[in-house]
Amino acid sequence: MSQTNSAPPVLRAEAIGKTLGKQLLTPVLYDVSLQVEKAEFVALTGPSGSGKTTLLYLLGALDRPSQGEIWVNNQRTSQMKDPELTELRQKEIGFVFQFHFLLPEFNALENVIIPQLLAGKPRHLAEKRASDLLERVGLSHRLKHRPVELSGGEQQRVAIARALCNQPPLILADEPTGNLDTENTEQVFSLLHELNRTEDLAIVFVTHNLDLAARSHRTIQLRDGRVTSTGVAPADRPKTSA
């Protein structure tokens, strides 16, 4: 895996802050700056209440910062209206949450098809892509099963396939193994690592698991809403072999 020095980062944030409330103002993030390059695997760590999930939502254009600027794949999100942000999320970002948020009335295949249809892909191509992805995550035998018929680890693998369905360059994962046992945690984390290596995906994942964080390329640490450490700089980290 190699980095092209002239290529812009997949994700960049400059001096972003977030304040909640209208009358009683509560600052949550202060002057956060970071960037993530193509094919980086970055852990976002810190104690509970440090602002990790808030930051991830801002980076993913699910919320707007109170100040500062964010670029996703060289697109400045602060300049975008809500419909443009929706299109950006559909095409440029895949989300994996601690709670998988699969649609319970649809089976695994349909859960991976639907985001593609919303992005305008023809159904036959969406179905082929969904089937291929579910095979990739080891669930080719579970295509017609609904979420209630799947284990927690299987549900999260469907969620990963869904996150990949529109071929985004960036995956944002919020505690993706937080509700899983040790075996399923390892399976899901190993899957994310494989996808990072083989698909050149940039992945940012929030975790309290320091063992998993230590296996990332780089760790960004938050405390009390501020970045306290960004780990090894992208240009200096060792290359990851496939």
Task: Please state the domain count of the chain.
Answer: 1
Domain that holds residue 228: 39-53+82-232
* Within a domain: 239: no
Residue 113 counted as domain residue: yes
**Ramachandran angles phi, psi of 39, nearest 5°:** 70, 15
Cα 135 to Cα 127: distance, rounded to the nearest angstrom: 12
Per-residue pLDDT of the chain (242 residues; tens, 9 = 90+): 444 456 789 999 999 999 988 778 888 899 999 999 999 999 999 888 888 999 999 999 999 999 999 999 999 998 899 999 999 998 999 999 877 789 999 999 999 999 999 989 999 999 999 999 999 889 999 999 999 999 988 999 999 999 999 999 999 999 888 888 888 888 888 889 988 988 889 999 999 888 899 999 999 999 998 998 776 544 444 444 43
Q: Indicate whether 26 belongs to any domain.
A: no
10 in any annotated domain: no
Q: What is the CATH number of the domain that holds 120?
A: 3.40.50.300
Torsional class of 21: left (φ above 0), alpha (ψ -120 to 50), beta (otherwise): left
pTM listed for this prediction: 0.86
Cα angle: 132, vertex 134, 138; to 5 degrees: 115
CB 207 within 8 A of CB 239: no
